[in-house]
Structure 1
Amino acid sequence: MGQKNSSFGTDHAAQLNDYACHQWILFEQTGELSMLTDGISCVRQAIDLTPQGNANLPMRLSNLGGMLMCRFECLGELSDMEDAIAVLRKAVDLTPQGDSELPGFLNNLGGSLIRRFEHTGELTDISDAIAVLQKAVNLTPRRHPGLPGSLNNLGGSLTRRFERTGELSDISEAIAVRQKAVSLIPRGHPDLPRHLDNLGTSFKCRFERTGELKDIADAIAVQQKCVDLTRRGHPDLPGHLNNLGSSFMRRFGRTGELKDVMDAMAVLQNAVDLTPQGHPGLPGLLNNLGHSLTCRFECTRKLTDIADAIAVQEKAVELTPDGHADLPARLYNLGSSFYQQFLSRRNVGDLEEAIYRFKTVAISNVGSLQVRLDGAQRWARRSIEYNPSSPDIIAAFDRTLNLLAIVAGLDYTVKSRYTQLESTSGVALEAAAAACALDRPDKALEWLEQGRCLVWNQLHNLRTPLDDLRTQDPDLAAEIANVSQRLEQAASSRGQSHVDMTLQEKMSLELEARAHSDLAKKWDDLLRRARALPGFESFLKPSPCTTIMSHLPESGPIIVINVHTRRCDALALMPGSDEPFHIPLPNFSIDKAEKYRTVFDTQLRARKLRAREVEVELSVDDEFSQRGIRPAPIGKKGEDLSIPRALRGLWEDVVKPILASVGFPCIDRTSGEVPARIWWCPTGPLSFLPLHAAGIYRGPDAESVFDYVVSSYTPTVTAITDRVKNHRFMGSNATSGLFLTSQPRAPKAPPIPGTTKEVRSIFEQAKESGVRASKLEGDEMSVAACLARMEQFSSIHLACHGSQNAAEPLESRFLFHQGDLELGTILRSNLKHADLAFLSACQTSTGQEKLSDEAVHLAAGMLAAGYRRVIGTMWSIGDAPAQKVATTFYEYLLSHRDETAGSTFDGSLSAIALHHATQELRLSLDDSEHSLLTWIPFIHFGL
């Protein structure tokens, strides 16, 4: 790091600076720490003797910063790094614009900020690093010999941020600038190997994200060239060998080719042999060598390999100072090696050693957040294996869920958060399964609420009512409201850089990124201030079970169903109870859930192909009577893979045991009584299955959910209890009117022939009933017009195309002739009266497989926007059935208006109305697979 300049002169300050630089050079040659300490002392004296305004002061400050960073690398003392960054900032601040030394000072400051980011994980540091390094590149002339170094450092900062956020634009930009740096260096230049090595590191990082074998092949190729160009005895050779070995190991992890492990071991052993004892890079080399030995052991099961791996990894840990940013990763690898040895020898002592290392990683306050999260998960899993009743399991999963929230924190864009969550999908479900095994349904509920729908929960926190806080500290409440609004905006509106942007455009985006990180830090500070107030100690913290269980709806239970490979359980949240009623589901499994989902996916694909063959629109009666009952699909092992069999399995193994445990009687349809409500909150692959339609539909013992309850869904328990708690609608559930829109055709989308007919029919029903209603059709509809009506009317019926964006849920949208209405726009609107949203569009409640527990669909988004109840569809719906369900739904609502309702109707009856409408459609059809797939997709969310 750093540029050493003796600032030649005859004065004492110059002599001290010269001597300090000489000691720094000797330290780098010998590794003797006393020489570096002596140099730091002398350059400090030189700075003290240098007057303010002296042209040599910035260079001497930069030298001090470089030496302090070197000592930090050796000892891991955070104070050295903090002091280094402070003096390097001062060097930059004291250097006038246009000074030829400024790019170098900026490079040194950027490098120090990168190291602090690696140590603390603070995104503000890496944003700052990128910003100052972009400035260094911008200030360096095109043919300046320092430009490749500036580009290389910028690529390094982008690579580091990519490793934290997973943003592919960062790593693509890093590769581009590092390729440019390599292209600017002439053959034979001594810096070329270092630049090739760094380019290889960026290729390797992109491979780890995308799995593209070309990237790891490119990494190995440029790093091999780097090694070939580095002379024997060069101090950088061990590091280059280490990086090449690391790339061989990454490719082995993908291909399983033993040759890659052998090649890795050879170059890593060479790197260790070339590194003197006491060198600060030795622990990292030993750690990587140990990892390669562990991987070879996994292939060969040769016990000497795992013993050697543990020996070198223990030495690596021993040589790493406490508090060093790389210590958690080295402990994690050591724990993994002990666990591999346990699997081979079955010696409980090895398992204890592994658990101890994983726990140490989990509770660390430094190092990679992802490594700490991985350590916490391993701590939990290995504890279950060692002692299924261990109290450590609760502590381990508590730590895991807390770290998960940080890994996908508010300082990321929404897209980045979902990218992070893809790799940790299922963590909350695993924790809940462990809690159920420990007979702790309270913990299972807490963890499911904390770890699922994380992004929607964050949005909810940003929108939390501040009435209570406002009465105690109105200024703090106002600050929180302001920052929350700006955070929400930043998370959805920040642009992404790409390689074709100008440097100025990229620098502007980095300023946005830094502002976003600052807002997230300010948010955390505001929460700490709020929690310091009496009575607000738990403000916006994950809720305990008793709080989650408060404000349950009186009309029925919420059923949370956890599906995991270890076990499946239901948690029944009953009104008046303060703890979940635990219902084990021993006959259900994640394999069954996935099999049933495959059945539905297969039949829906087949239905879609058949629909393409039918070029004429059929009536409701013709569409089904002509098809009849098709033969049931048969699996390879003779299994019945039909829709009725899947629905029967859900009924017998999941739904009926729950209804029996809760004590629901069969509905007497002749009594006229309103059926009991039930809210389903499924997890994992069960989120894609129609619990509301589970049942036996053929034969003499036919029965289904419809015979017992009215079903609704909720992405989380809190999504329901908050709506029970917050009565915002003039003290009642009455809507303030109905707004309808139809878009028979959107740009680049197929027509929806019946939407205009559907909307006009409902509009006439509403007018005849005296309900205040408004409609817009086709070209009448614009985004602004729709939003204006949504603010005026509490009930909205959207008959149009919908487009879901799993990567950027806030960009999911409804397609109009005059533009698209994005979910993010709806969320930012002031929908004070929002009550009921009927989304008469296809797949508005279809989630995304990689994020099954994040509810990335339009229906959940409309709940987040404030609607108390939403009707959506699980898959594509036919035109005629959609019309029939919608018109019957509103007929029910309008015919059950209270005499005092005036121009409104009661939205709280929407679940019963949908139950009635789908039942009417169902009874008009047969029980063929096609018919079942026709009425099942309509579902109700919310109250």
Structure 2
Amino acid sequence: MISLHLEAQMPEHLVRLNAEADSLMDVRAYPEALEIKKKLVRRVMSLDSFPAEVLRLQIELARISRRVADYPAALRYAREAVQFGEEFLPHDPLLSSAYNSLGIYFYLQSDPEPALEAYEKAYLLRYELFGPQDPRVADVLNNMGICYEQMSDYRKALERYHQAKQIRFDYYGDCHSSVADSYLNMGTCWHKWGDFRMALDFYAKARQIYESDLEQYGADLVLVLNNMGVCYQDRGDYLAAEQLLELTLATNLKLHPPDHPDIATSLNNLGLNFFDLGDYNKALVYFRRALDIRERSLEPGHPWIASLKNHMASCYLKKKDYDRAYGLASEALQMRLDHFGPMNRDVADSYSDLGLYFEKINQYDSAETNYLAALEIYKDQLGSQHPLVADTYQRLGDCFLIQGQEDQAVDYFVESLRIKQKSLGVDHPEVARIFARIAQCKLNDPETGLFLLESNLTGLGSLEHPDDPHSVFSPLVALEILMAKSELLQAWQQQHQDSTRLLQIRAVHDTGLKWMDRALQSFQEPGSKQLLMDRFYLLLEMILENCDAGFAQTGDSEWIERAFAVSERGKSLLLRESVAKVQAASFAGIPDSLRKEEQNLLLDIAALERRIFQAPDSLKKNLDGELFIQKQNQYQLLGQIKETFPEYYELRYGSQAFRLDKLKSYVQQEGLNILEYFQGDRSVYVFLLNADTLWMKRLGSGTQLSSKVKSFREALTSYNPIQDAGKDLPAIYGAMAYDLYNMLIEPLENLMIGNRLLIIPDGSLHYLPFDCLVGQPVGPNSAWRDMSFLLNQYSVGYAYTVDLLLRPVTHYSRSASKMLAVAPDFKAEGDLDPLLYNEEEVNSVSTKWPGTILSGPDATKERFRKEAPNYQVLHLATHASANDTMGSYSYLAFQGNQRGGDSTRLFARELYNMRLPADLVVLSACETGVGEWQRGEGMISLARGFFYSGSKSLLTSLWKLDDRSSSQLMTSFYGYLLKGETKDLALQQAKLDFIRESSSVRAHPFYWASFVPVGLMDPIEVPASNNWLKWVLMGLFSLLLGSVVLFFRRKRPA
């Protein structure tokens, strides 16, 4: 390194000024130091007799500007230094430093060719001035190696690194930091070239030297730890990677200001690790923050910005947000093409990821075209043995396997396997993963497939031990391999009718469930847990298939009990966690202060997410930065809770034992027939549980059911007797309704007891009101009220999961036991249509159920939030908006300017952190029961939001209903509740009354079937005022009856 300190002959006041700036740099006060150096260079230039000092200061200005990520200024100062040096000091060593400074700028801008040109000038000058063995020559050779590495010419890069290392080693000895720098760069080069063992060897040598003096080499150690973390990540050792990368981020945050590019690099690498672990939502948190930093500090179109956009596209692809994924991936590709041209590994990365996008949307020809384009570039730039070449072969194999072209798939998998065995070794999870893919291609020959798979798992025994914290497997890889093994065993069992295989398959499934639990407990983002359930829902379906076969062969009911418990695992995971969180706190003694801290964090995060959802793009970045900080605080707090209160954490997030004995007692006590449905990709199953039996039956394919439900719902909700006057609507409707009845109800109806049904829906069945199915064929031109609706025979209730019947969500106390009825006035609002009957509705129901009415200007969101926690019944007669892509942002509308956003809209997301311990919430608004369906969780809707808040049951709607019908149904419903009826029976009677009292047109299910009761169906405690009235009326009736009896007694003797 050329010294950049001012010489002693400079005027004393300038020397002091320079020393002040250097002191500021020592404490990383770079902006302040920069201002002093700018002032200093102007004063020195004015003296006109110290050219070397001017050049030194210009180089300093370029370096400090890079430190504060002001790259345009860094380029300007570096060019000024080169120009000044070439003019006034053409043979001075300082000119070589100016060339070096210019090269560093271009390297940081991912522009290696001009960087290499500048470094070559520096090298020639230093070689001439100092000779070939001088360490200053080694510095430039090192930088030239970095450029070749950036150009993917790893052979030339390693040559330059080796030359630099040897000069430094001979000059300084084997423990000098510059030798460590060479080891670090050689490790990075081997890493990129795909030889992880060589990379880790060189990283370890660098680390050993840096750790010898942490105070002096702390920043260098951070860099080598980061690279080691990424290398472990690429090898599949994600736990070791996360520990190193977390340490790197924490250290960088101490060393640099929060918007420094090095912090963005740490965030990017952690995001990639979370992505590989399957925690896609958490990965997005890190990628968004890193992108914000890079877009602030780098030029538009910089390759590092493109990389982050590509990573985010991959996350959205996993989340099945295909439009957003394609937009980001295409943008990243164009940026890379503009910067690098067509033959670059980053461009190949884009083609490969676009190939995956086309594969996911079933455009396989386009997928193959993009994969092959990536493969050609990788081979040209990296050689044919690089891990990225292997990954691309694997993706091509997957693409052909999905299409059922097993022979072509095997060819590609074998090519991938050959490379991965060489780079990773034979006993590696990624190698086992490829063998699993090859084995999947052998389902027609399961014996061969099992031999291939099992013979290559012998060195990886930890697959069978998910609880082993040192397992080499990530949960995602383990689950993929176990599912492949299960399919092969199932194929063998079906071919040979070998019942012994059933238990072997069961053991594989048990291991898979443990791996799934391990993954779910490791994820901190709820959305990532749901995505994991969606990705491996097929495992649950395979278990049900195994149980179905097991029961058919053995007749042992334990198979059905197991299947029922597994079906429950696939329902309302996050809602069950919400309940478990409250119950865990009561058992595990977690301090109130910690719970309040977490609650406040969740409230802050929810508020920020709402603001981001509604904000214009120009404001989203600043809000994303705030959200990242709060998310980091949340992750740290959860880590603290896990470490300090492990029992509480296990109760909160661990899988709960399924309590069938208690459920049977509950069902017998309530006189229920529970029908729980499981809709998988391949099959639909139904379970019936009542006082006499637990039964299971396969009903057909999931695709077939979805199609039938969609057609039926469209016919039901598009009812228009005027427009369709020429059609026999009852016959058309009846055919579809009877078909669904025969599929969903009839197969188990002979086992049902009594007249109460409780439906646990799954998949498309969340959109179906069962009570409007018909149990008999419908003849031509039948009257609507004469149809044999299920409503005539059964009361129908719904629940998200039977588990919550035994541990309901209600966990907060309230101070009152009356109704709060809300009816905003939308007549003055332009965005929402007036509700003509909503005020009449709340006035009518309040005559039956006393309480408070908030109508017109009083029906504000603020008043509702303040008062609602104190009421037994909440009745909301208002507009609602269902969001079928982001269910958490479905909302209820309150009084006020509807363009005002948060102040007039109550989002489902807000309800998750509210306390509303109502016995019943009536959402007399349109589409409050529908929203975004998420596999493994259910319908993310306003109705579910109220369950999160602690409400026991809801009455909600599945489609838009006119408020006249709603008002009539609600008045009747409350009347039956006052008589002590259960909620399902009260709604059944209200609907029957409606049909009986309505015109022939309005007897159509469109007008009455929308409302469905969800949750606990038990009767509601009648308000005291109504009890008092009931006793008075009973007393008067008794007196009257007594008088009549006395009258007759007196009459008789006469």
* Length-normalised TM-score, structure 2: 0.65
Cα distance change of structure 1 residues 322 and 927 upon mapping to structure 2, 3 Å threshold? farther
CA distance in 2, matches of 1:882, 1:162: 47
Could you tell me which residue of structure 2 aligns to residue 189 of structure 1?
none
> Is 1:936 aligned to 2:936, yes or no?
no
Match for 2:985 among 899, 912, 916? 912
Shift in Å at residue 65 of structure 1?
6.5
* Contact kept in structure 1, 2:605 and 2:631, CA below 8 Å: no
Amino acid at match of 2:656: S
Q: Give CA deviations for 1:353-387 in whole Å, capped at 9, x if unaligned.
A: 35777997976845765554444444444433333
Match for 2:942 among 832, 845, 858? 858
Could you tell me which residue of structure 2 aligns to residue 781 of structure 1?
859
CA distance in 1, matches of 2:274, 2:521: 14
Could you tell me which residue of structure 1 aligns to residue 712 of structure 2?
600
> Is 1:205 aligned to 2:306, yes or no?
no
* Contact kept in structure 1, 2:679 and 2:702, CA below 8 Å: yes
Could you tell me which residue of structure 1 aligns to residue 416 of structure 2?
313
CA distance in 1, matches of 2:341, 2:334: 11
> Is 1:572 aligned to 2:688, yes or no?
yes
Cα distance change of structure 1 residues 19 and 238 upon mapping to structure 2, 3 Å threshold? closer
* Contact kept in structure 2, 1:921 and 1:935, CA below 8 Å: yes
> Is 1:718 aligned to 2:837, yes or no?
no
CA distance in 2, matches of 1:85, 1:918: 77
* Contact kept in structure 2, 1:809 and 1:823, CA below 8 Å: yes
Shift in Å at residue 540 of structure 1?
5.2
> Is 1:528 aligned to 2:649, yes or no?
no
Could you tell me which residue of structure 2 aligns to residue 738 of structure 1?
819
- Greater mean alpha carbon deviation, residues 742-751 or residues 495-504: 495-504
Coordinate RMSD, CA, aligned: 5.8
Secondary structure of the corresponding residue to residue 695 of structure 1:
coil
Could you tell me which residue of structure 1 aligns to residue 449 of structure 2?
350
Could you tell me which residue of structure 1 aligns to residue 437 of structure 2?
336
Q: Give CA deviations for 1:290-348 in whole Å, capped at 9, x if unaligned.
A: 55467579889695x55643443332342244699xx54454344323433x26x7473
CA distance in 1, matches of 2:865, 2:522: 27
Cα distance change of structure 1 residues 781 and 46 upon mapping to structure 2, 3 Å threshold? farther
Amino acid at match of 1:584: K
CA distance in 1, matches of 2:520, 2:857: 41
CA distance in 1, matches of 2:422, 2:990: 71
* Contact kept in structure 2, 1:802 and 1:841, CA below 8 Å: yes
CA distance in 2, matches of 1:704, 1:491: 46
Q: Give CA deviations for 1:533-592 in whole Å, capped at 9, x if unaligned.
A: xxxx877532333367446341133321223454443323345x8xx7123255x54355
More helix by share: 2
Cα distance change of structure 1 residues 483 and 436 upon mapping to structure 2, 3 Å threshold? farther
Match for 1:632 among 723, 729, 747? 729
CA distance in 2, matches of 1:165, 1:885: 44
Secondary structure of the corresponding residue to residue 866 of structure 1:
coil
Could you tell me which residue of structure 2 aligns to residue 793 of structure 1?
871
* Contact kept in structure 1, 2:429 and 2:473, CA below 8 Å: yes
> Is 1:804 aligned to 2:882, yes or no?
yes
Cα distance change of structure 1 residues 418 and 128 upon mapping to structure 2, 3 Å threshold? farther
Could you tell me which residue of structure 2 aligns to residue 652 of structure 1?
742
* Contact kept in structure 2, 1:203 and 1:218, CA below 8 Å: no
CA distance in 1, matches of 2:579, 2:638: 15
Could you tell me which residue of structure 1 aligns to residue 766 of structure 2?
687
Secondary structure of the corresponding residue to residue 820 of structure 2:
strand
* Contact kept in structure 2, 1:462 and 1:484, CA below 8 Å: no
> Is 1:449 aligned to 2:545, yes or no?
no
- Unmatched 5+ stretches in structure 1: 51-56, 142-146, 186-191, 231-236, 471-475, 532-536, 614-626, 634-639, 666-675, 768-772, 897-907
* Contact kept in structure 1, 2:287 and 2:308, CA below 8 Å: no
Q: Give CA deviations for 1:769-794 in whole Å, capped at 9, x if unaligned.
A: xxxx2211121123332233322221
Could you tell me which residue of structure 1 aligns to residue 846 of structure 2?
763
Could you tell me which residue of structure 1 aligns to residue 757 of structure 2?
678
Q: Give CA deviations for 1:636-673 in whole Å, capped at 9, x if unaligned.
A: xxxx752x2233233333324434213x25xxxxxxxx
Shift in Å at residue 750 of structure 1?
1.5
> Is 1:288 aligned to 2:386, yes or no?
no
Q: Give CA deviations for 1:707-730 in whole Å, capped at 9, x if unaligned.
A: 544221100011211139x89889
Cα distance change of structure 1 residues 311 and 433 upon mapping to structure 2, 3 Å threshold? closer
Amino acid at match of 1:741: V
Amino acid at match of 1:647: A
Could you tell me which residue of structure 1 aligns to residue 586 of structure 2?
467
* Contact kept in structure 2, 1:91 and 1:105, CA below 8 Å: no
Could you tell me which residue of structure 2 aligns to residue 669 of structure 1?
none
Q: How many residues of Structure 1 are paired with residues of Structure 2 in the alignment?
A: 834
Shift in Å at residue 469 of structure 1?
3.4
Amino acid at match of 1:513: K
Amino acid at match of 1:866: G
- Greater mean alpha carbon deviation, residues 87-96 or residues 409-418: 87-96
> Is 1:887 aligned to 2:971, yes or no?
yes
Cα distance change of structure 1 residues 756 and 321 upon mapping to structure 2, 3 Å threshold? same
Could you tell me which residue of structure 2 aligns to residue 268 of structure 1?
375
CA distance in 2, matches of 1:302, 1:465: 49
* Contact kept in structure 2, 1:693 and 1:936, CA below 8 Å: yes
Could you tell me which residue of structure 2 aligns to residue 828 of structure 1?
913
Match for 2:697 among 581, 584, 604? 584
Q: Give CA deviations for 1:493-538 in whole Å, capped at 9, x if unaligned.
A: 554699746987655443323222223333443563458xxxxx87
Amino acid at match of 1:872: T
CA distance in 2, matches of 1:604, 1:861: 26
- Greater mean alpha carbon deviation, residues 495-504 or residues 646-655: 495-504
CA distance in 1, matches of 2:562, 2:222: 50
Q: Give CA deviations for 1:864-884 in whole Å, capped at 9, x if unaligned.
A: 222222111121122121111
Cα distance change of structure 1 residues 420 and 130 upon mapping to structure 2, 3 Å threshold? farther
Cα distance change of structure 1 residues 875 and 399 upon mapping to structure 2, 3 Å threshold? farther
Cα distance change of structure 1 residues 241 and 934 upon mapping to structure 2, 3 Å threshold? closer
Could you tell me which residue of structure 2 aligns to residue 514 of structure 1?
632
* Contact kept in structure 1, 2:772 and 2:789, CA below 8 Å: yes
* Length-normalised TM-score, structure 1: 0.71
* Contact kept in structure 1, 2:929 and 2:941, CA below 8 Å: yes
CA distance in 2, matches of 1:680, 1:602: 21
Q: Percent identity?
A: 14
Q: Give CA deviations for 1:611-647 in whole Å, capped at 9, x if unaligned.
A: 9x9xxxxxxxxxxxxx9995138xxxxxx752x2233
Shift in Å at residue 935 of structure 1?
1.3
> Is 1:817 aligned to 2:895, yes or no?
yes
Cα distance change of structure 1 residues 267 and 465 upon mapping to structure 2, 3 Å threshold? closer
CA distance in 2, matches of 1:808, 1:130: 32
- Name the structure, 1 or 2, with higher relative contact order (CA <8 Å, separation 6+): 1
CA distance in 2, matches of 1:354, 1:452: 32
* Contact kept in structure 2, 1:873 and 1:939, CA below 8 Å: yes
CA distance in 2, matches of 1:300, 1:794: 57
Shift in Å at residue 751 of structure 1?
1.6
Shift in Å at residue 695 of structure 1?
2.6
Could you tell me which residue of structure 1 aligns to residue 78 of structure 2?
none
Secondary structure of the corresponding residue to residue 927 of structure 2:
coil
* Contact kept in structure 1, 2:823 and 2:878, CA below 8 Å: yes
Could you tell me which residue of structure 1 aligns to residue 1050 of structure 2?
none
* Contact kept in structure 1, 2:874 and 2:921, CA below 8 Å: yes
Q: Give CA deviations for 1:398-453 in whole Å, capped at 9, x if unaligned.
A: 45555556666685555565566665566645543443333322222222222221
Amino acid at match of 2:696: I
Amino acid at match of 2:708: Y
Q: Give CA deviations for 1:189-240 in whole Å, capped at 9, x if unaligned.
A: xxx9x7699479558737845256666666666666777687xxxxxx7787
Amino acid at match of 2:707: K
Larger-Rg structure = 2
CA distance in 2, matches of 1:828, 1:679: 28
Could you tell me which residue of structure 2 aligns to residue 752 of structure 1?
835
1:4-153 correspondence runs (5 A): 29=155, 74=195, 94=215, 114=230, 119=236, 120=238
1:184-223 correspondence runs (5 A): 198=307, 201-202=310-311, 205=314, 208=317, 210=322
Secondary structure of the corresponding residue to residue 696 of structure 2:
strand
